Amino acid sequence: MKLKLSKTTRINFLTYAVVIVAFVVFQSLSSAGALSSTLKGQLVPICAYVVMALSLNLTVGVLGELSLGHAGFVSVGAFAGAVASAALTTVIPIPALRLAVSMVIGAIFAAIAGVLIGIPVLRLRGDYLAIVTLAFGEIIKSLITNFYIGIDGEGLHFSFLSNKLSLGEGGRMILNGPMGIPGITRISTFAAGFILTMIALIVIFNLVNSRSGRAIMALRDNRIAAESVGINVTKYKMMAFVTSAALAGAAGCLFSLGQNTILPSKFDFNTSILILVFVVLGGQGRMLGSIIAAAALTILPEVLREFADYRMLVYAIVLILVMLITNNPTISGFFARLFRRQKGDET
Amino acid sequence: MLTFLNHLISGISLGSVYAIIALGYTMVYGIAKMLNFAHGDVIMVGAYVCFFMVSSFGLHPIIGILLAMVVCTLLGIVIERLAYKPLRQAPSLAVLITAIGMSYFLQNAAQLLWTSNYKMFPAFFTFGGKNGVSFFDGRLNLSWTTIVTILACLVIMVVLTLFTDKTKLGKAMRACSEDKGAAQLMGINVNTTISVTFAIGSALAAVAGVLLCSAYPTLMPTTGSMPGIKAFTAAVFGGIGSIPGALLGGILLGIIEIFAKAYISTQVSDAIVFAVLIIVLLVKPTGLLGKQIREKV
Amino acid sequence: MKKAFALLLAVATLLCCLAGCASDPATDTPATSDTPDTPATSDTNDTPATSDTNGSNNTFVIGGTGPLTGGAAIYGNAAMHGAEIAVEEINALGGIQFKLMYEDDAHDAEKAVNAYNTLKDNGMQIFLGSVTSAPGVATSAEAYADRYFYLTPSASSTDVLGGVANPLTGTVDIARKDNIFQMCFMDPNQGDASAQYIKDNNLGTKIAVIYKNDDVYSTGLYNSFKNKADALGLEIVSTTTFTTDSQTDFSVQINDAKDNGADLVFLPMYYDAASLILTQANAIGYAPKFFGVDGMDGILTVEGFDTSLAEGVMLLTPFNADSTDPAAQSFVQKYQERYGDIPNQFAADNYDCIYAIYEALTKAGATADMDHATLCDLLIQQFTSPDFTFSGLTGENMTWNTDGFVSKSPKGMVIQNGAYVGMD
């Protein structure tokens, strides 16, 4: 019996399979106690980075616009989600449910930010668009740095620029301006990270393979041609951009609820660049690549601890070498020939 | 009024530093069409070289600057040769990531070489024991560093413009920037031209490094990164690829930053600077002096 | 086909990473290679001290995280070097032996937790915590849950300890973590002390504050200073801020202080920014009194800094590298010989941390075969017991109670002729 599957469907199923296998393997290793504390502690952040990379790949790879401010959306999701989780502690005592609700809230806030930012940004092109996303990322960071949220019996209290809150009996500060959220109850789990990764993949693949997805890719490949056949540029660009922002927000929430503390300054330009590196290294538009690159590059600095002082130097060299090698025509040509020969043998 | 003038002068001082860095950015971008994120770190290397030449070997500052330019030029050529040249045919994002890798590399190498302890850069530009001129009984001050920086910006701008307009190599650069394929067909060695562009950009970085650290004298391995990003913003603001645009963008960015701090709030000044940038780009999508590229179907 | 290749490469990298993770967790880091080897093999090392231990293993493994790379690397490296010297001295004494491991956290909470987990994998028994505040908040929560004794040299935020009321809202935002202790002044104590000092000595009537509003340490100090100053009736005429991104030009902040007629400027920040403020204030001829905090210590030792700019600057600091105290002199001399520069308070605080742990371990009669949880309980008991006092480079007769912060009095220093002089 021969299943007739298109190439994209096969790749999509391969991606799902890799994620599921990776989850099962690491989950069982983890419960068997075979993982080092370092790797165990990184499982949730890896999932968060994977989803961040996937969401950025939607903007960079599928929509074809360079974004240098993706950390801004992650930040909105991270803080909205963490505040929601802290506020809902008594309302929803079950951690898993609270995590899910927080993620949805994080995603909604990030999506709102995506709409607000997308309207002006998507009118620009190329490097100008990139710099405006960078600017928005910095603005979000700067605003959250000046935001104070406290909670007491009456509910949430907000303050901007300076902490003027007077909280009632039993109240406490949740978001403390530049000090971020110092006491987060960790409720993110590896399983939740896995589920979020799967959801992100399902959303992205369904979007890409839909009529809308084809319209988005048509815009990427040739905007003028796409426009001339009646594709609504703003609508489809916004669709991709906002979906990307929402997924980034959910990833941010997963990340923040897996940490003890998060600071607004964590989600700066360097973090945006880091996520972009995952996407470019894994390949634009290739989701499996993003997943592997995000996981590998998150683990890499920890593995390089043996190099001590030379750790980040080695990391930089590895990054440059990987970029040089993957883009070297001789080497990729060699592998291309190799693969072709193998395929020839099979038939 | 005096306060306003003081803020204006501070803005111009800060802006002139951004401008001189932005000139290097825009030069490389205009011709090689790549965002060289390692530019800020070449600046840092230039400042370190000058620092050691002057304070450890007791050389004259002018010699220090010249040596820094030589070292940075060589560094620029090596970086270009090893990291960017092999990617000439690769997608632009791949080059961007390589440049970021190079930036990490330079920062960490600098930390290993020169430790993370910061150094105070010596004040070069003092005349008659004074570091500036003051008016109205010292209520208005203009430092020599600012004057030198602005002069340097103007000189560099004029020289670069003349160079790209009049010399053969400069014309070759413009040709490469317009259309690499056509330039090649006209007998221009595109590879060499781009390499030369990097060499010039890196020499400019050395000058920028010295001037940056003369104005704001803490020198450490991460000194170049934030001014680098700000200068990149300034270059885009003025219209990236345009040499006068870099100067204008830099100065304006400095003034906006200072005014935002002075008249609105120091706490959210970063946000205001970037908000202004966004508004300008929405009104003029290719920056203040950027060229409108007509799209062909 | 390029795609396939890129994927292949990425998979290969991932596999390498995993292989690396699974490798022997007891590998030593080169950064601390001059301390004895892993505990299991410590009786084979060449330190003469182990000879009188009757072959029993008496090497305690102490770990710490700090920014060894990046913008804050100066503080992490100083702290690590301070601890290295203390460990070397103690190991040369014989008796209890220490093995020190430092991991880089790049001044980032997430990486600090990774660093902490690496230390755990490498057999850490006692934790020196994190050098800076934000990572300290993260690692203290982890160490609290895992029961590792935690004595930080310099993570001064109240959130590291927990159980301290927020100076602005009066709320306790984080519960006390009972195994966390600080060697440095806690931020509110120092902010309060600064305001009190200014008031008591009539140092200024109109006060300006410049602080870094994206930094945990600086904001924490400002909040408590403001609170105390209001209570004491000190008049704050100008409050301005800066961030990491705008840490170059301070003309607006300085002009604001000047225009409001401030005669004292309070600078709750590290010395990198402070040196720029001093330089720029001097350039426009503004010369109020400057009052700094312990983060300002080290400003005199910066290569190329014109110390005349810091003339008259007052600061509260626990440590003075110019001190005539023989212990301090010996420490400074060793530090200079080994690392080529003059130690700051981070180095001194961490040096003291090691000695405080050493004394507590000796008093408690702890042995290195105890696990970290047992050691944690023993050390908490020692540190909180009323008869445990510790005298080191950064203070005499320091004590701790269950709140975790150290009681030592900050030394008021004023810079005269390029050196610290006691203010009293």
pLDDT the model gives residue C314: 87
- Which segment of A201-205, B94-98, C168-172, C392-396 scores lowest on mean pLDDT? C168-172
Name every chain C residue with its beta carbon within 8 A of the beta carbon of B2.
none
Q: Is residue B293 part of a domain?
A: no
Cβ separation B3–C259 shorter than 8 A = yes
Give the residue from chain A lying closest to C215, CA to CA.
A178
- Mean pLDDT throughout B246-264? 91
pLDDT surpasses 90 at C162? no
Q: Is residue B200 part of a domain?
A: yes
Instruction: Name chain C's partners: 3 or more CB pairs within 8 A.
Output: A, B
- Which segment of A88-92, A113-117, A343-347, B55-59 scores lowest on mean pLDDT? A343-347
From A99, A125, A123, select the one nearest A252 (Cα to Cα): A99
C370-376 long-range Cβ contacts below 8 angstroms, 24+ apart: C370/C125, C371/C125, C372/C124, C372/C125, C372/C126, C372/C146, C372/C147, C372/C148, C372/C149, C373/C147, C375/C60, C375/C125, C375/C126, C375/C149, C376/C147, C376/C148, C376/C149, C376/C179
Q: Is residue B292 part of a domain?
A: no
Q: Is residue B179 part of a domain?
A: yes
pLDDT category at B132 given cuts 50, 70, 90 is confident
pLDDT the model gives residue B296: 56
Q: Does A10 touch chain C (CB under 8 A)?
A: no
Domain architecture of chain C: domains with CATH: 56-185+338-407 (3.40.50.2300), 188-317 (3.40.50.2300)
* A111-139 burial: b if 16+ Cβ within 10 Å, else e: bbbbeebbeebbbbeebbbbbbbbbbbbb
pLDDT the model gives residue C17: 44
- Mean pLDDT throughout A254-264? 92
pLDDT the model gives residue A2: 54
From C51, C55, C49, select the one nearest C35 (Cα to Cα): C49
Phi/psi class of residue A43: alpha, beta or left (left: φ > 0; alpha: ψ in -120 to 50)? alpha
Question: What single string gives the DSSP state of each residue in C176-236?
Answer: --TTEEESSPPHHHHHHHHHHHHHHTT--SEEEEEEETT-HHHHHHHHHHHHHHHHHT-EE
Question: Is A93:A29 a contact under the CB 8 Å cutoff?
Answer: no
Name every chain C residue with its beta carbon within 8 A of the beta carbon of A163.
168-169, 223
Q: Does C336 touch chain A (CB under 8 A)?
A: no
pLDDT category at C152 given cuts 50, 70, 90 is very high
- Smallest CA–CA distance, residue A265 to chain C, in Å, is 7
Backbone angles phi, psi at C13, to 5 degrees: -60, -45
Q: How far apart are CA C320 and CA C348, in angstroms?
A: 9
Cβ separation A320–B101 shorter than 8 A = yes
Domain range enclosing B65: 2-283
Q: Is residue B10 part of a domain?
A: yes
Question: Is B291:B240 a contact under the CB 8 Å cutoff?
Answer: no
- Smallest CA–CA distance, residue A329 to chain B, in Å, is 9
Angle at C35 between CA C34 and CA C41, to 5 degrees: 115
- Mean pLDDT throughout B253-268? 89
- Smallest CA–CA distance, residue B226 to chain C, in Å, is 6
Q: How far apart are CA B184 and CA C68, in angstroms?
A: 48
Instruction: Pick C283's closest partner by Cβ from B115, B116, B143.
Output: B143
- Mean pLDDT throughout C113-130? 92
Question: Is C74:B116 a contact under the CB 8 Å cutoff?
Answer: yes
Work out the mean pLDDT of chain C and round it to a whole number. 82
Name every chain B residue with its beta carbon within 8 A of the beta carbon of C341.
115, 117
pLDDT the model gives residue A24: 93
pLDDT the model gives residue C147: 92
Q: Is residue B223 part of a domain?
A: yes
Q: Does C129 touch chain A (CB under 8 A)?
A: no
- Smallest CA–CA distance, residue A34 to chain B, in Å, is 33
pLDDT category at C266 given cuts 50, 70, 90 is very high
Name every chain A residue with its beta carbon within 8 A of the beta carbon of C110.
45, 259, 266
- Mean pLDDT throughout C211-230? 89
Question: Is C131:C64 a contact under the CB 8 Å cutoff?
Answer: yes
Q: Is residue B297 part of a domain?
A: no
Give the residue from chain A lying closest to C172, CA to CA.
A172
| For chain A, domain boundaries | 7-306
Instruction: Name chain A's partners: 3 or more CB pairs within 8 A.
Output: B, C
pLDDT the model gives residue C35: 40
Give the residue from chain B lying closest to A122, CA to CA.
B282
Q: Is residue B296 part of a domain?
A: no
pLDDT surpasses 50 at B178? yes
pLDDT category at C424 given cuts 50, 70, 90 is low
Instruction: Pick B90's closest partner by Cβ from A138, A313, A327.
Output: A327
Q: Does C243 touch chain A (CB under 8 A)?
A: yes
Q: Give the domain CATH number at B226.
A: 1.10.3470
Q: Does C71 touch chain A (CB under 8 A)?
A: no
Residue A150's DSSP bridge partners are A157, A173
pLDDT the model gives residue B239: 86
- Which segment of A15-24, A325-334, B277-286, C101-110 scores lowest on mean pLDDT? A325-334
pLDDT the model gives residue B105: 94
pLDDT the model gives residue A340: 63
pLDDT the model gives residue B295: 56
Specify the number of domains making up chain B.
Answer: 1
pLDDT the model gives residue B202: 93
Cβ under 8 Å to C: A residues 263-322: 263-266, 281-283, 286, 288-289, 292-293, 295-297, 299-303, 305-309, 311-312, 318, 322
From C125, C158, C126, C159, select the one nearest C141 (Cα to Cα): C159
Of the two residues A209 and C25, the one the predictor is more confident about is A209
C-alpha distances out from residue A66 to A57, A129, A206, Å = 10, 7, 22
pTM: 0.87
- Which segment of A40-44, A333-337, B117-121, C220-224 scores lowest on mean pLDDT? A333-337
pLDDT surpasses 60 at C387? yes
pLDDT category at A204 given cuts 50, 70, 90 is very high
pLDDT category at A26 given cuts 50, 70, 90 is very high
Q: How far apart are CA B50 and CA B80, in angstroms?
A: 22
Examine the predicted complex and report whether its ipTM is higher than 0.90: no
